[in-house]
Amino acid sequence: MIDYQAILDEIYQRLQQRVDKGEVASYIPELAQVAPEKFGIYLNRIKGDDFYVGDWDEPFSIQSISKVLSFAKAFSLQKNQVFKRLDVEPSGNPFNHLSLLELENGIPRNPFINSGAIVIADMLISLLDNPKEDFLQFVRDISNDQTIQFNKKVAASEAETGYNNYAAANLLKSFGNLKNDVDEVLDFYFHQCSIEMNCKQLTKAFYPFANRGKCMQGKPHLTLNQVKRVNAIMLTCGFYDEAGEFAFEVGLPGKSGVGGGIVALLPGEFTIACWSPGLNEKGNSYLGMHALELFTTKTNLSIF
Ligand code: GLN
């Protein structure tokens, strides 16, 4: 029997003492306001009790973690058509890298770098009647939580300083890989990134990816085949140019965001979410990466 609570407590105590907690993202001014000492972990087990520690119930900006949910929605609506407009290869580059996009004629490497998520946002705008509202409703339904919201201040803050994303969207448009207006697509993208969740809600949102497509209430949201593919892209592309390191150290499919959140899962066993706003130089939560490495090492639970 694994003593999950003792393991989470030990990880929390050990990492919280670290003086170096990474740097809180400041290129989105609103995110720079978040207290760097926040730290929480929530473990949601498929066939057992949950365990948690620290600031697990405090909402934060999920940022790029939302890219998994937007991709899952577009994939479930469009099936393999989505792969006409983007690829599924790791980029080996930072999340906001542009030159590869130009080199590869406006076809993003994968849906989890910014350019790929912007293409997915464009697809959803074309597919949904009320894109922002309908997507938020999808996130609420898959998470079984109707309280989940956008943070309008964070979305507006990113729109003010999102020069790199404007560049990516304009480049995509120039290659004919954006059907809708650049401003409309980025407004959707900034809103999806601004969604707030706490660690517990994140584990619920990702539950279907660990539970053969079914949410915690047993309702099917994705097919098994879709779950397999989304998890594969999380494993290979979820951490940008640190995806290899995450697979090596942690050994789980997962996704990070510049709000300091990381969610990861072991199919059939659990979903786990960590939050610590300080980031490492690759833009992934500094303590979150360490926490998950310690978790899979101490429990001996990973996909390998
Ligand atoms: N909204 C952020 C951006 O586009 C998301 C980046 C991230 O979380 N890695 O820059």
Query: What is the C-alpha to C-alpha distance for residues 75 and 264, in angstroms, rounded to an integer?
Result: 20
Q: What is the pLDDT of residue 91?
A: 93
The structure's pTM equals 0.98
- Distance, in Å, from the CA atom of 277 to the CA atom of 109, rounded to the nearest integer, reads 27
**Left if phi > 0, otherwise alpha if psi is -120 to 50, otherwise beta: which for 197?**
beta
Q: Is 139 marked active-site?
A: no
- Tokens 């983007």, residue located: 86
Structural domain contains residue 224: yes
How much distance in Å is there from the Cα of 259 to the middle of ligand 1? 8
Which of 23, 96, 166, when mutated, tests ligand 1's pocket best, judged by the most ligand atoms within 8 Å of its CB?
A: 96
pLDDT at 255: 98
Q: pLDDT, tens digit, for every residue of 83-142?
A: 999 999 999 999 999 999 999 999 999 999 999 999 999 999 999 999 999 999 999 999
- Is the beta carbon of 90 within 6 A of some atom in ligand 1? no
CA of 28 from ligand 1 middle (Å) equals 9
- Report if residue 17 sits inside a domain: yes
Any catalytic annotation for residue 67? Answer: yes
Ligand 1 contact, 285 CB (< 6 A): no
Q: Which helix (H) or strand (E) holds 80?
A: none
Is residue 248 packed enough to be buried (19+ CB in 10 Å), middle (13-18) or exposed (0-12)?
Answer: exposed
Ligand 1 neighbourhood includes 254 CB (under 6 angstroms): no
| Distances 294 to 7, 277, 286, 287 between C-alpha atoms, Å | 9, 18, 13, 10
pLDDT at residue 213 in the model: 97
Q: Which one of 34, 154, 258, 263 is the catalytic residue? A: 258
Q: Ligand 1: does its nearest atom lie under 6 Å from the Cβ of 277?
A: no
Whether residue 282 lies in the annotated active site: no
**Residue-level pLDDT at 184:** 98
Q: Is 189 a catalytic residue?
A: yes
How far apart are alpha carbons 51 and 44 in whole angstroms? 7
Instruction: State the total domains in the chain.
Output: 1
Considering the domain boundaries, does residue 69 fall inside one?
A: yes
Residue 18 lies in a domain: yes
Active-site position among 21, 67, 173, 255 = 67
CA distance readout (Å), 150 to 66, 161, 188, 193? 11, 18, 11, 8
Answer yes or no: is the C-beta of 70 below 6 A from any ligand 1 atom: no
Mean pLDDT of the chain: 97
Residue 53's domain comprises 4-299
Q: Can you tell me which atom of ligand 1 is nearest the CA of 64? A: 8
Low-confidence stretches of the chain (pLDDT < 50) are none
- Residue listed under structure tokens 């809600």: 201
Residue 304 lies in a domain: no
Atom of ligand 1 nearest to the CA of 240: 9
240 is catalytic: yes
Residue-level pLDDT at 202? 98
Taking the CA atoms of 19, 21, 26 and 31 in sequence, report the sign of the dihedral they define: negative
Backbone angles phi, psi at 24, to 5 degrees: -70, 135
Pick the catalytic residue: 4, 189, 207, 286?
189
Question: How many whole angstroms from 234 Cα to the centroid of ligand 1?
Answer: 16
Q: Is residue 135 part of a domain?
A: yes
CA neighbor of 39 nearest in space, from 57, 27, 66, 23: 57
Which atom of ligand 1 lies closest to the CA of 117?
4
Residue 273 lies in a domain: yes
pLDDT value of position 268? 98
* CATH at residue 71: 3.40.710.10
Which is the closest atom of ligand 1 to the Cα of 158?
1
